[in-house]
Amino acid sequence: MRSTITTRGQTVIPIEIRKRFALGPADGLEWIVEGKEIRVVPLPRDPVAAFRGQGRGQSTERLLDDRDWDRRRE
């Protein structure tokens, strides 16, 4: 599946993916850069579940970054 990026940096998530992962308005996505690849991972609505099992370290920094991002959106 493919999508295009608009001049504002937006893109559309294909309907098949939205249905499969039950994604809707205001759901979060995490963008992960691994080398030359980008992965997009849906975030659980439960913030504790979003952090459980990440195992990449620096969870405090990521949590503070996420909270800062949430505050800017409000």
pLDDT at 12: 93
Number of other CB atoms surrounding residue 47 within 10 Å: 14
Is the pLDDT at 54 greater than 60, yes or no? no
Q: What does the block give as tokens for 6?
A: 């608009």
Closest CA to 23 of 32, 15, 34: 15
Average pLDDT on 40-56 reads 69
Q: What does the block give as tokens for 60?
A: 């405090």
Residue 27 is which amino acid?
D
Is the pLDDT at 57 greater than 70, yes or no? no
pLDDT at 61: 80
